[in-house]
Structures are given as structure tokens and as C-alpha cells.
Amino acid sequence: MFKSTLSRLAFLMLYALYFPTWAQAQDLNFNKGWRFYNAKAEGAEKPDFDDSQWRALDLPHDWAIEGPFDVKYNARSGGLPFHGTGWYRKTFKVPASATGQKVRIEFEGAMYNAHVWVNGQFVGNRPFGYIGFEYDITDKLHFDGTDNVVAVRLTPEDLSSRWYPGAGLYRSVWLKIDAPIHVAHWGTNVTTPTVSDAKAVVQVETTVQNSSSQSAEVVVRQAFFSPSNEPVGEVEESLTLPAGTSAVSGLYANIQKPLRWDLETPSLYKAVTTILKDGKEIDRYETRFGIRTIRYTTEGFYLNDRLVRFNGVCLHHDNGALGAAVYRRADERKLQIMKDMGVNAIRTSHNPPSRELLELCDEMGLMVLDEAFDVWKIPKVPNGYNLFFEEWAERDLKDMIRRDRNHPSIVMWSIGNEILEQADKKNGWKKAQMLNEYVKQMDLTRPSSAGFNNYPGPFDFNMAQQVDIAGMNYKPSKYSEEIENYPGLPIYGSETSSVTSSRGVYHLPIEKYKTHESKQVTSYDIIGPPWAYPPDIEFHFQELNPKVMGEFVWTGFDYLGEPTPYGGKDNSTNGYWNADWPARSSYFGAVDLCGFPKDRFYLYQSQWTTKPMIHLLPHWNWKGMEGKNIPVYCYTNCDEAELFLNGKSLGRKVKGKDLTEILIDFSRYEPKTFQSKYRLSWDVPYQPGTLKVVGYKAGKVALEQTMVTAGKPAKISLSVDRPEIDADGRDLAYVTIRIEDKDGNLCPEADNLVDFDLQGAGELVAVDNGNAATVESFQASYRKAFSGQCLAILRASEHSGQMTLKATSKKLKGAEIVIQTK
């Protein structure tokens, strides 16, 4: 958490002109006014280096997403230039009134292998790109009004990641000015040892740092505030701090009738820590927290003493066309879409997430499995984290927990995913034990976990037993066997399904294939790599084994890189996945790279939500297929569904009774077909017109959906996720572009090229269409439609007004939309 935040260093300087000493510690957003150079630059760490020809930009910034896509780059990592050398420099002044204060610089994430200099003096190196870090730079600064220069060199390497990692200073940077006695970095730890409806005991441990040369007596005061910002308690204690040391203050308060943090009511409290010396406030630090209980047994996972199943998804950290650069609105939209699918839990695959994502999960009532590593010592790619594991694993894991421990959304810590040490009978378990001990040294309130894909190896070799809850990747048919053989070890599906699909694409006849010449994957939701299986299989085995805590689907969203089933083989260490270029991003998501739901989104929604819903597939444009059977699927949470073609009933079917046979073929499972009770289906002789499905609950019509054979593309339709956004220079508006016929029906196979023109208080920052096999630039002023749709992402300026987006295409009627910025 942060101290009071100001948006400009200039404001801080004005403040200093009027006040001879610093009245309060400040955390200053340091994202403005950097210069960037994407190549080696000899001597760029020196303060007198001439960077006037470098590119001026603001952070966060991901240089690789700018492209271009190129077959010389690894499609496994997105086919983008994420490796090489990048330099960032910033020139700034610190006023003389800051003399005697402590000045630190914090990087929330730097991808990767960051080396930092201040005024030409080396400050430090941090290899892991996913974890934040800070340095005390006080003794390297000029306080006499002359310029200071911070320089950062990043050297991400090829073959260092199994997916697209991004590149650059892709998360925020902060300049932190404190009194010599202050709350340490990530220095509070809030826990709730006792919680009842009547009262909660809230305990706060605060690490106070004395960086001065003298011993000091201070008072640590904790004030607590309710979700409505009402004071609900205050306690304090005296602390003696010898020079150059730190000490931990331990305080607790009783909060009456606490409001629980829960999935539907994510109530958030605030602890305000104040450090006083000689009666004067010298530091203030705010920590947001939640009051809730978690516990786990072999019978399941309990949140606030209520059994809860994980309806979870795995999410990578990129935001599609925006790359790895952190935008709060991008993460918020992503999580909103997931909640609409019925998701209640997120697995941060496979690395520490951004601060913004965790704050949003706190606010939105989403549980989080916070994951540290994809690899330990044994490599999956030659230049991965394995190079740094021995030296940095303890620090990185502990820093993740120290940073994230106050987020009530986090319910588990994961020490790794599909670690190749699973096969090491002799020593694999020892490394797991070591990492688990690090977790317990930092936090005893949450269970540890890991994702194991090599069942029964890690269970038989004593590795799974080193964590509190064992995750099983892609082994649903083994759940009952694990429960019988290891009755004391709780489990959940840490990665499930792994089905692939392309939004709006349907291949007939329905058949199991490895790849398709189109570089697309049918959206009938049956195709996947050898370990993968349709969602129906996981639903089935979770029902048969209610002690399994739930699942985390691979994945919620498509992501850049790993274009399975095209290009290569997972966990291979022999290089490139470019055999099926231009396939360069994931097909795994229930939602595509734009955030547009695929059909599978609705299959999960039919299982994970209760509000009546119904969804039909495929589209109904099959020219040349007249009279031939088209398999029509219906995903619904209604009791029954009835299908009509041009007003004629094709039959009413009962969910759970009328089964749909689907093709399957995955590892360690013999049958090649599965009778699914989770899908309703009809074989419909095609004729153009109107296909309608009606859903019934308790015998009464609940809702219906209509699909119409579209005519020729005639016009563009625009819609925006929010008509009004903040004029803060970072807020985003997502505009969906649809290609429609003259009657407003989506043309499901349209691929028209759309040109964009934006006028007003903002800029067009990215475009996309969800096609995983194209090398069109994300940073163009045009985009082809894919399956009838594409996306434009607009960013507000810092001036209120309005943005007007115009979209045009040859032979189509254009459209425009206005977004207000305030």
C-alpha cells in the first residue's frame, strides 16, 4: 500500500518552496517524462550522456508490443521483439528542503534483468521481471537544485519465456520521500486471528525502519476505518529504535460487528499507521485489508465457514493488444468479463501479478491463487528463471508474499507450476520443502500449493506432500484414485480442460484433428492438444468427486504466445515455434484476445451461474449447405430448451436427460466419445432464415435467443464499453466494431478492412480482432474484421472533453461514436 500520492514531482517542488521542512512522507508517481532507447548505448548510465535524441514517453511502457511481428522472432513468445537491450532515463530535481530525508525509488516491475544507476552510480540489479523492488538512493542524489539522472538498462533474452513476457518498465515507478524513521517497504502485515459476527480481532505488525545515526523513541499509532470510512478503533504503542536498525510494532484492535470480505460483499477496511516522534507525525502509511476467514480440509475449501468451490480461470499478465503494460481499466474489464462467465477465482499464471490486478480482485470479490514461478532449477527454456533460481528464489518468493499478504482476495500461495523437478525422486521434494518453508516464514494464515502435471510422480515421490493443497493439472479421471491413495492431501484442478478454439469459426464435419490448414480451431469445443479435454469432462469428474475443491480453467482469456496446437510442443527446450507462422498467440481462452466471448464462455456460464442464460452455436450462414445437417448446440442453465427453424419446432430437450455425444481423445483416458449432459444438440438440415431457441424453467418460458441468416455486409456498427471515462491520461474506452447487413444482423464471416479516425481528447492506442494467426500491427489506424468483429482501444488525454471515433470501410456505410472524458 502507499502513502499519500501526488501526481507530479513539480508539485512537490512547489510544496517545498513554501515549507522549509517536509511535513509528511510522499509517494510520488514517477511515470512521467522518461526517455527510451531500444538498443545498446555505451555510457548511457552516466549523468552527462546525451539522450536528447531518445524517444520521450511516459510509463508504464512495453516496447515489444509495438512490433513488428516477424518470423525471426519466436512465435512461442508472441512473434514480437521482446528481447535485446532497452534503456530508460529520467532527469529530475530534488529540492534542498529534502535534505535529511530518505529518498527511495520503487519499480513495480521491470522486464527483465534490470540494472539501475543514479547519477552514474550503480544502485542494483534485479533479474526477475515480475516482482517489484526498491532502492535507497539518498546518498547518490544532488539536493542543491541541480539535475539528477536515473538510468535503467533491461536485457531480456531470447528463449527466456514460454509465453509473451513483454519488455521494459511495464509497471509503475515511484519516488518515495520519507523521514529517516519510516514504515519499511511493504512494512505492514494485517491478519484477523479471530472473526465472528459479533467481533473481529485485527492484528497489525508494522516494521519501522530507523535509517538515522541516532537512537529514537517513537510512537506507532494504528487507526482503523470501516468500508464507509468511519473510525472503528485506534491503538498505539511506544517503540525504541537503535540507530540503523528496524523493529516490529505489534498492535491489535477489536472491531465490533465486522463486515466480512466475501464474494458478493467484498467489504474493505483501512488501517492507517502513523509514526510520531516528539508528538509530531513523521510518517503515515495506509493499508487496505479485509476481514474474512479461510480454512481447508479434505472435504473442501471454506470461505467464512461456507463451502466454496473454485470456479476459477488461469490468466496470463498481458492485456492483448496493449501488451504487458499495466492499465488498471484493462485489468478491470478483463475481470468483469470473467465474473460475467461465473468466475470466482483467478490463478496468476505463472508469476506474481500487478498491484492493480490484486486491488481489483479485492474490490470485485474474486479469490486469488498467487503464483510465484513457472520454473525452478531445471529449465523449460534455456534462458529462463532457472538461471537465477539458486540466488534469487528465496528473495523473490518472500518479496511476493511480503508485497501481497494484505490482500484479502489471496487465498493460496503457489510455489510453482509443472516444475520439472517432479521427476526427481531423490531431491525434487527437498526443493519443494524449502520453498514451502519460505512461505510459512512469511505467512501462516494461508495454505501453500503448486500445480502438478506429472501424476502420480510428485505424489509418489513426496513432492506434493510438501504443500498444503496439491493442484492437479489435466488429470480429472485420476481424482478418485488420488483421494483413495492419499486421503489426507486436499486437491483441486489447478489447470483444466485446455481446449482450443477460434471465435466464430466452425469446421464441418465435427471431427478430432490436430491442426487445420486455416490456422484456426473449430469452436465446437472439442479440439485440444494431447493432454486436453472438453470442459464437460471436468464437470463430470468434479461432480463425481465433490471433495475436489474446484478448478482453474486453462485459460480465461487468450494470451500472446504459445499458439497451441500450432507451432511446437510445450516444455520443449529446442527453440522456436514458427512452423505454423503466422500463428502467434493462444487459442486456449474462453474469451479471445479482444475480450470477445467464444462459445465456450457460455458453456462455463451455463454451469457457473444461476441467472437464466441460453446460447446457440454455430452461426446460421451456410451457403451451399442447403439440406445438409448442421450440428446445432445449445448451452443453457435452463431446465429445457426448444429449437425452432423458421417458426417450426425441431423438438424440446431436457438438460441432463437428453445427452450429446462429443468426440474426445486425451492422455490416460480410454474412451473416444463422451455422452455429455452439459450440452443440448440437434442435427438441423440447413435452410436460410431464423433459428430460435427457447429456454424453460419450471415449465415456463425463461428467455430465448434468435439467430438470423445474415445478408451481405452493408454497414458498420459501433458500441463502447463505457460512454464516459476519466481524463487522467490512462483510462481506456473499448469500442467494438461489428460488420452488419442492412437489417443489423452480424455478418459472421465478414473480414472487411476498417479504417479509424479519432478526433478530440484522446488517442487510438491499439486495435485487434481476436485472430491468433495474423501479423497485422496492434498499433495501426485500421484493422480487418475477424468473424465479423474487431476492436479499437482509445486512451483519454489529461484534458476533459470528448473523443469522436469514425470507422469507415469500402462499400460499407460508416459509423461514428462519441466518448466523453471528464
CA distance 219 to 701: 66
418 is catalytic: yes
Q: Is 374 exposed, middle or buried (0-12, 13-18, 19+ CB in 10 A)?
A: buried
Backbone conformation region of residue 789, classed left if phi is above 0, alpha if psi is from -120 to 50, else beta: beta
Q: Angle, nearest 10°, between helix axes 355-364 and 328-341?
A: 40
Q: What is the DSSP-derived secondary structure letter of residue 387? A: G
In the block, residue with C-alpha cell 511480503 = 402
Beta partners for residue 737, in sequence order: 718, 790
CA torsion through residues 387, 159, 575, 40, sign? negative
Pairing of strands 448-452, 469-473: parallel
CA distance 358 to 339: 15
CA distance 36 to 57: 7
Phi and psi torsions of 703, nearest 5°:
-170, 170
356 is catalytic: no
Altogether, the residues listed in the chain come to a count of: 822
In the block, residue with C-alpha cell 520503487 = 106
Cell of 736: 467494438
CA distance 775 to 584: 8
Nearest CA to 468 out of 421, 436, 495 is that of 436
Q: Out of 495, 551, 642, 740, pick the active-site residue.
A: 495
Nearest CA to 95 out of 183, 31, 18 is that of 18
Q: Out of 45, 108, 356, 418, pick the active-site residue.
A: 418
Backbone conformation region of residue 488, classed left if phi is above 0, alpha if psi is from -120 to 50, else beta: alpha
Nearest CA to 106 out of 38, 152, 167 is that of 152
Nearest CA to 86 out of 136, 134, 51 is that of 51
Rg (CA), the chain: 28
Cell of 715: 454497414
Which amino acids are annotated catalytic? 418, 495
